[in-house]
Structure formats: structure tokens, C-alpha cells
Structure 1
């Protein structure tokens, strides 16, 4: 069947009408073999240590040295290892776990709140020196935390705060990356018209932030909370130089102390407990990422896309 033609008023014929071209259904996205190989390498790099940790946590002390590292031993001792880890040295592992939770709740939670308040203020208020603040924040993101650990120790020692929980909590309250992330996220997530309407209704700035803006910042808050929680949970160098009392150790420093027992005179080798304790240490982090996955993914996406 031929396509119909159109005729102008002058009697001349024009080109026949043709249906608009449609995209082919079922077209598969292009795939790159190089990207697939790189993704597979990254997956192996991430998953193989976790598999090694899980497998070796099921072995006894003797089985660690008599069996292949990436396969199970003759006996399954995971539950026995877990019980011994929790009760070894009068249950000091549970003490270290409670210390770590304290540092995460106070330090990472406080850092998230400060990042939210600071990011909202920098995104929605204009003031002299704002560009300088932006430069300082970007510069602070590039400075590694270990570079500030020794100056922080010297300052805290003069203040008498070393060997106390405050020496870990106070430095954890500062998160330049979290502040920058909340800054960019708040700039797009909170409409200026909404703030103007709330001010016209007579709401104060604190009420506007906590009642109107904070719910809109929830995805960004979860993202910052996860990043700061992981950083505080895995913090090692700062507690190592700040704390002398083992009762205030976090899990990272405590497990390293167990690992070092084999090299001390008269020390007991407890490599099986170190491995099992390391497995128990990462379980809360994995659970937090899986449970809050949809929140922090949307937070990263919204914070990186301009509306």
C-alpha cells in the first residue's frame, strides 16, 4: 500500500507522508569488554578478602596453619570461636565494641548534624566571605586525617584530653567531605520558594530547618551518616596515639593488640580470635549499608545532579 500524498492549493504535489521512525524495541545496551573485566577485578578485590575472613573464622588455631586459606578446614569451629572471642580476657571484646559504638554515635552522629546545619546555611544564605569558606572546605577535603593526628594529639595533650573518649569524639565531629556533600545536596533539595513561604507564615529559622528542611535532607543525611560512621568505625591511627588505657580502645586498636600478643614475651597467640573478631567487626557495617542502600544511593545521585 503506497503512502498517501498531499496536494497543495496550487495543485502541485508534495512528498508523501511517512510514519515517524520509532526506536527499535529490544535493543540491548552496548557492552564494553574492558569495563566488564575491570568490574570483575574490582569485585574480586573486594570479595576475596571477605571470603577469606569468613572461611578462616571457622577454623581452629591449628587449622589456620594446616589448611588452604581459601577453603574450609577439617573441623567447623565458628560458633566456638565466636563464644571464645566474646568471653576472652573477661569479655574485653564487648567493652571495645561498646566503645566503638559510643564513638560512632557521638562522633559520626554529631558530624552528620553539624554537616547538615553547615551545608544548609552555606547553600541557602549569602554572606561575605562565602567563596573563601568554599575554598577552605575544598582544601580540607584534600587533607588526610592522619596528617592531622599528631598536631591534634599535641593540642589535646596540652588540654588534658588524651586517654579519654573526648580525644576520639571531638576530632570525629569535623567532616569536610560531609559538609561539602550536604552543601551541594541542600542547594538542590530545598526550594527557595518553600523557605519564603515558611518565613511568610511567621516560622523562625530554627523551626524552618528542623520542621521543613530536615525531612527533605534525609537521603543526604543518611549518606553522610554512613560515610562518617565507616570512617569512625575504622579509625585506627588516632585512637592508637590518643589512648593508653585498653578499656577505652575501639575494636581496631583492640584487635591489633590481640594480634601483637604473639610477638611479646610470654604472650598468647590468639590468631583465631583476631580473625573471628574482625569478622564480627565488619558485620554491622555490611548490615547498615544493605539496610540503608536505597537512601544513600539516592543521596549521592541527588547531590551530584543539578536541578
Structure 2
């Protein structure tokens, strides 16, 4: 039932266009529309004004998952318009490839291709009434063939009859005018170029932590058991605050705090056994988001 209504609605715009007997009112901006230029198609001819259907702009938001169109009016009430139609050019050729239809009166909304085959009925709609009222449609990009970029033309229509039973149409468009042939399309909008709710941009990556480097120096290269004690001096490039751990193989000898701008020193135990000792110093910064950890090794010889 919904698909049949959408196909019937598609013909209403063609009927209105056939009633035009004069060229369209010329000149609009790219995605903004002048005020008081809504077109009235009446038995007595064409008239221009706001008619409570004065479209002022269309915001195009082409996201990673959805295409959202927000049409803004000077003022709207519940009866200002009945059908919104948005032409979508996906091939950069100025020709409609799909169109989005939303009929408030019939309670249906969907997407059709150029041959008027319904491709999607799962679209979201929202309306805000009053000054600067809006009509918003959000369409999954899959309904439009997942295009890399789109260009848009929007027509908003009120259709009805006068007291004599004659058909009446009031319509406003952006960009361009309803009777433009071919229709005027907006500039192409690539997917994910706005970063709004429908096209969220990933947060900027956090800057990589600054590299640090541990520098070690022994006051002597050889320590004599029970007689001398060698001091290990530690410095870290940039001198950020943190902690250093001093290990002899798998055995931790000491953990020391390191103040910003300061180095550290440690007297090695005089009980170290004779032989080669591979001393490893590991630096852990206090601010891990700004500074990276690092380590270094030095070899001490111990003899009797």
C-alpha cells in the first residue's frame, strides 16, 4: 500500500508542472532560496509570494551512513505543505537518479529511482513548526546506491482545490525554481564532509607520546667486592617526572622517583657477586599520554 501511494505521489509533481504556462521565476543561490518567491499555480495564472510555504534554504548533510536534508522555511504551520520531493543526482550529470518523497497527508515516505521503482521506505522524517520551521528527511545511503557524492534539488508542494473544485498548487524550490528544465542542482557534496550527527567524523588522533631516552653512567667500570661501591647516574631526555626501576637481571635493586628537570643516582650494593652484571634501568613517566617509557642497560664488572 505504501509503495503504491509513493508512485501516485510521484505523478502529482508532473501534473503541477504540466499546468505551468510561463517560464519560471529566475535566479536563486546555490542552496539558499529568496523569500517571497514561492510559486502559486491557480486557474487564473501564476502568482508569487510566501503562501506559508516560503522555503529559504536546504542543508545537505551527506554522512557515512545517511543522507540528511533539512529544509528551512520562513514560517510553517501544520497545513503549510503536503509533499516534499528531493531530486538526487548521484552521477554528476545534472540528471535525477533517485528522488525522495514525503507526504504528510498520506503518512508515507520513501525513495524511488528514476523509473519510479521504490528502493526504500525506511527513511526518517521530522518537522518543526513556527518561525524558521524545518522539514528533515534522513535516508540510508544504501537506498541511493551508496554514492560517493550527491547533488540535490528540493521542491515542497501544497496541493488542493479551491471552492469551485479547481486544482491549486503552491510550491517552492531550492536551489532554482520548480519549473527549471533541467532542474538546478546544488554543488556536489561528498560523503562524510560535514561531521554532523549523520556524518560523524572520527575524533582527531591523540598526538603520539614524546619519545624519551635513558642515559646511564657508572662512576667506575669495575667494583671491588667489599671495598668499593660504584654509583649509577641516571638522566632522561626532556627530564619529565616519573619513576625509574633499576634491575640486575631479573632482580630489582631499587625504584626511585624522578622529578621533572632532575636526574637520579644510586649506589650499587657492595654485596654484588663477582662477575658481569647487566644493569637495566626502566623509566615510567607520570604523564603517560604525553611521554613514552624507555629503558637502557649498562654492564658493571665486579671482582675480588
TM-score above 0.5: no
The interval holding the TM-score normalised by the smaller chain is under 0.3
State the structure with bigger RCO (CA 8 A, min sep 6), 1 or 2. Answer: 1
TM normalised by structure 1 equals 0.22
Q: Where is the strand percentage greater, Structure 1 or Structure 2?
A: 2
User: What is the TM-score normalised by the length of structure 2?
Assistant: 0.23
Please state which structure has a larger fraction of its residues in helix: 1
